[in-house]
Amino acid sequence: MMPITMARIGETLVIKKITGRDEVRQHLAEMGFVVDTSISVVNAAGGNLILQVKESRVALNETMANRILV
């Protein structure tokens, strides 16, 4: 497993684990980041990521993105 921040642009991966406090995991789940969901990296700039999850694009800062393990 690795954090999504280490993935290349255009790469599609499956979420294996979400780390962090319960509140953080719940917040990510509400945005669609749940285990066994496919996500892809759309763009990366300054450590921030734009991720495609389901039918939405979501921007996450590096700290939040590091909690998503693929």
Q: How far apart are the first and last CA of the chain?
A: 5
Number of structural domains in the chain? 1
Domain that holds residue 43: 4-69
Q: How far apart are CA 11 and CA 39, in angstroms?
A: 8
pLDDT of 11 higher than 90: yes
3-state secondary structure of 25: helix
CATH of the domain at 41: 2.30.30.90
pLDDT band at 47 (very low <50, low <70, confident <90, very high): confident
Is the confidence at residue 69, as pLDDT, over 90? yes
**DSSP-assigned letter for residue 11:** -
